[in-house]
Structure 1
Amino acid sequence: MNMLSPDERTHLGADGYIHLARRLKNAEEIQRWTQALREWQPPSKLLRVHLEHNDLTAEHAAQILNAINGPVQAVYLHHNQLRSLQTLDSFLERHSRTLLELHLSHNNLCTLEAEALLLHIGQLPLDSTDSTPSNTCSWIRLEFNCIDVQKLTDRLPRSINRRIQLEDNGCTPTRCRCLNRQHNHRLHSKFLLMQHNAMPNAEDRHGR
């Protein structure tokens, strides 16, 4: 990690926190931190990756995330310029057993991208107790994108719709307080109803 200064190295923490919010200002910085992450030996902890407020595209976000070697528990990608999540598919698949939080608010995601994400996460195997969320991503922040929530729920299968939790019941990413939680493993997405204007003619990644 010779490309990093001593101060910059502190942003790759021994506590498992990767602090890169507001630090990825251009393609050169993204490439430099990508190389540093490839060389970094993370601690034996679940990692929490802060990439918010960087104006990242999906391609640049995937470049950074795919350079991380350790297991990831939380990703903060809010306040960026994400329009598609297709480039994140391999990352989501690789960390499907440890990823609990995905913060994607304040981007430019359309209805069909949200649908693809919820279908992917909703089909992952469940493994949970009656008080903790399943050991798959169950805390998904998608507010202030371009999602038509009514159209989204119309398109999703009932098996996933019944799991989406919009109300704030005092749940946290590590503890679910919803009723019947042992029988209905929730996908928490509070504030989902708060959106920018939906993009009416947006096509999804498969051109449907």
Structure 2
Amino acid sequence: MLEVIMKRMDALSKLGNTTDTHKLDELSSALDRIQPAGLVERIQAIAQNMSDMAVRVEQILQRSIASNRGVFPDARSRTQKTTRSFLSHTHTHLWMRARWTSDPCYAFYGVDGSDCSFLIYLSEVEWFCPPLAWRNQTTTPTLTPLPKKQAVFHSDVGSLLEQVGTGKESLSFMKRRIRRLAAQWASAARRLDDKLRSRWREQK
């Protein structure tokens, strides 16, 4: 369309200052003919399609809630709260619906073709959608702390030498240095133990 307009404009510029009304009328009628016919109708059709898509998503959610009522108690009321935020992720949901069988990783994460599984996957695995309020949020398990032990000084460096290992010149050098300094370390440990004898020290 732009190409036709440019050609007509080029023809108009060639007229120069002449007053050839026939050519001007021809150009005017050509421009009238190439107006974007049906553009408004196309825009209205696109808007209607978007509205229909939103209605379909709402229906999908309602069906999903109804079919999973036994699995997810009160899912209807809880999911309605997330419907508005989910509508902005409709394109991702439609993509999942079309391609969820393309890779076994989706099934590994619990996707089974149901809308509920799509919602859970997109909100908890990929994080494309906001978290679902009605889903249990996993928390990091708290580890039971190990019992504390009294720190003690060891004068034998044998276990330390075993941990250093063998086979490299740098390790041999470290072992020789440990053996050479072992007596000084033991003496320093005895002095520190005498100094801190009344205090409880935790083993690190």
TM-score band by shorter chain is: under 0.3
TM-score under structure 2 length normalisation: 0.17
Greater strand share, structure number: 1
TM-score under structure 1 length normalisation: 0.17
Larger Rg: 2
Q: Which has the higher contact order (CA 8 A, sep 6+)?
A: 1
Greater helix share, structure number: 2
